[in-house]
Amino acid sequence: MKLLRLGLAALVVLICGGCAGSGAEKFVHPDFDFSFIEKVAVIPFENLSGDQGAGARATRYFVNSLLASEAFEVVEPGEVAKALEKMSVVRTAELTRDQYVQLGRQLDVQGLFLGSLSESTSVRSGSGDANVVTVVLRLVETETGQTVWSVTRSEDSRGFWSNLLGTAQDSRGEVTRKCLDKCLDSLLD
């Protein structure tokens, strides 16, 4: 009986330890009416990782997820780039509240999504490598330039079955997509 309990405890530890570690930290403005936001634009994501092109890929994935959700009308990325160029914006992370408001008027949107990829890498995990992605996303409403929603989330490719059986893990692109989809789900739920 004692051996059975030890075996069950080891199995629980194995299952819990093998689950893909993903956590989220979220902020939602308590007084904001999200039904006000009908049309949004996605500002190109910053890439703070060493993975060249990861920010641009994440931006494309996120625009696609927004379109698929049908929750908002989404401005075409080319229009966003044109508006940023017109405002002479080089570093989107340094936009001010006034610029958010100005950009909202130019694009005729009620919300701007901003994001950064702070991690996009492969790390050694047991006998193989795991792909790890960390994303920070914000939604800024364009009437006042205030952040009304923000989330930080990490995802990795390690899963219970891939760890246990040594099977193939998700690519970095798939991990990025899953991370962004879960971020968006935290807004739309």
Topology of the domain comprising 20-188 = Rossmann fold (3.40.50)
Virtual torsion, Cα 39, 151, 145, 71, nearest 10 deg: 10
The answer on pLDDT for 168 being more than 60 is no
- 91-146 confidence digits (pLDDT tens): 777 889 999 999 999 999 999 999 988 765 566 555 567 778 788 999 999 999 99
| Helix 77-86 vs helix 97-107: crossing angle, to nearest 10 | 130
The beta strands (E) that lie in 1-67 are given as: 24-28, 39-42, 46-47
- Would you say the C-alpha torsion 54, 57, 63, 68 has a positive or negative sign? negative
Check residues 36 and 20 and name the one with the higher pLDDT: 36
Provide the pLDDT for residue 171. Answer: 72
Three-class secondary structure of residue 25 per DSSP: strand
- 152-167 confidence digits (pLDDT tens): 988 876 654 444 455 4
- 2-29 confidence digits (pLDDT tens): 444 434 333 333 333 344 445 679 999 9
Give mean pLDDT, residues 38-63.
89
Asked if residue 146 lies in contact with residue 29, where contact means CB atoms within 8 angstroms, the answer is: yes
Helix/strand/coil (H/E/C) assignment for every residue in 93-158: HHCCHHHHHHHHHHHCCCEEEEEEEEEEEEEEECCEEEEEEEEEEEEEECCCCEEEEEEEEEEECC
Cα separation, 187 vs 125, in Å, equals 31
Provide the pLDDT for residue 8. Answer: 37
Provide the pLDDT for residue 91. Answer: 78
Give mean pLDDT, residues 31-49.
93
Provide the pLDDT for residue 22. Answer: 53
Provide the pLDDT for residue 74. Answer: 97
Report the b/e string of 80-116 with b at 16+ CB within 10 A: beebbeeeebeebeebeeebbbbbbebbebbbbbbbb
Provide the pLDDT for residue 144. Answer: 94
Cα separation, 81 vs 58, in Å, equals 16
Check residues 68 and 4 and name the one with the higher pLDDT: 68
- Would you say the C-alpha torsion 90, 94, 97, 100 has a positive or negative sign? positive
Give mean pLDDT, residues 15-44.
79
According to DSSP, the β-strands at 24-28 and 46-47 are unpaired
